[in-house]
Amino acid sequence: MSKLTALALAYFIIWTLIFLYTVVLGQRQKQIKRELELIKEALNKRS
Amino acid sequence: MVKMERGRVWDYFLGPLAYVVLSVAIYMVFVVAPEEKMMGVVQKIFYFHVSAAWVAFLAFFVVFVGSIMFLIKRDYFWDGISLASAEIGVVFTTIVITTGPIWAKTVWNAWWTWDPKLTTAIIMWFIYLAYVVLRLAAGEEEKTARFAAIFGIIGFLDVPLVFAAGRWWQKTFHPIVFNNPSGGLDPAMKPAFFISLFAFTILYIYLLVKSTRINLMQRELNRLKDMVKEKIYG
């Protein structure tokens, strides 16, 4: 493995992991928001 | 709820700030910082490798403090922070233990050696991975949070060992960056290094705020689900 390939690989890993974690957080947040709104709506309708 | 709203404000401020300082750090590393004479261009892994290690240490320290605060105050805000910080710490430790061997292979011709620094680092990764997996396990909320807090305090014992391993056990080939008696970092590399540290710290704070808010929202969701269950089934 050349030095330049190693550098590119390392930086690819760094940014991929950070990007993936940010995407996971965003999806988790979206899912929770959707469920929260549905439950609040259902609770409001019942009361 | 107030803490959640406050978190949202920080979210909008910290996200763009993290983006800007990371861009500056990349510019400093690749354009301003000189190339190291012996290792060549691959040495540029160093800037973000060490910054990721710093964030991992900081994250696990926050888990430690958050765990103590949860056990004292029984406030789930601290539990949310601890869980968020443990997750981020695992992500950044993964960066450290994957970029390190890539660097080592090209410079020392070895992917991995079981020297004290690397061994304690991989143990640290497993400890906090176990912590995060433990939190995914279903169970009584209070019990799981309490057990995780105890785990978070005991698990932190390994963190100072990772940091000090290079100094305590002389056999390590891993370089010492801070307070190295035989020199340390070239002064021309210092601006890029400290900006990288700062950029990763801002990124950590941004991720911590965002992830903690999600954990608090998840708790609110679970509480509402229990309320609905109670209304339906009595």
ipTM: 0.89
pTM above 0.80, yes or no: yes
Helix axes B190-233, B45-73, angle to 10 degrees: 40
pLDDT of B49 higher than 70: yes
pLDDT of residue B231: 76
In a domain, A27, yes or no: yes
**CA of B99, closest CA in chain A: separation in Å?**
5
B44 touches chain A (CB under 8 A): yes
B42 touches chain A (CB under 8 A): yes
B42 chain-A contacts, CB cut-off 8 A: 3-4, 6-7
Domain count, chain A: 1
B231 touches chain A (CB under 8 A): yes
pLDDT of B39 higher than 60: yes
**What is the dihedral sign for C-alpha B172, B175, B176, B180?**
positive
pLDDT band at B178 (very low <50, low <70, confident <90, very high): low
pLDDT averaged over every residue in chain B: 87
B window 187-226, beta carbon within 8 A of A: 203, 207, 210-211, 213-214, 217-218, 220-221, 224-225
Pick from A32, A43, A46: which is nearest to B217 by CB? A32
Nearest CA in chain B to A33: B217
**What is the dihedral sign for C-alpha A14, A20, A21, A22?**
positive
Surface-to-core class of residue B64, CB atoms within 10 Å of its CB (0-12 exposed, 13-18 middle, 19+ buried) = buried
| Tens digits of residue pLDDT in B77-120 | 999 999 999 999 999 999 999 999 999 998 888 888 888 888 99
Contact in structure between B21 and B43 (CB atoms under 8 Å): no
In a domain, A32, yes or no: yes
pLDDT of residue B171: 60
**CA of A13, closest CA in chain B: separation in Å?**
7
Cβ <8 Å between B41 and A3 = yes
In a domain, A41, yes or no: yes
In a domain, A8, yes or no: no
Q: What is the domain partition of chain B in residue ranges?
A: 2-179+197-233
Instruction: Quickly list DSSP for B22-55.
Output: HHHHHHIIIIISPPBTTTBGGGGHHHHHHHHHHH
Counted across chains A and B, CB pairs separated by less than 8 A come out at: 81
Stretch A21-43: mean pLDDT, rounded? 90
Instruction: Determine the structural domain holding residue A36 and report its residue range.
Output: 17-47
- Those residues whose C-beta lies under 8 Å from the C-beta of residue A19, and which sit 6 or more positions away, are none
In a domain, A40, yes or no: yes
pLDDT of residue A41: 84
In a domain, A35, yes or no: yes
B88 chain-A contacts, CB cut-off 8 A: 21
Pick from B87, B94, B221: which is nearest to A32 by CB? B221
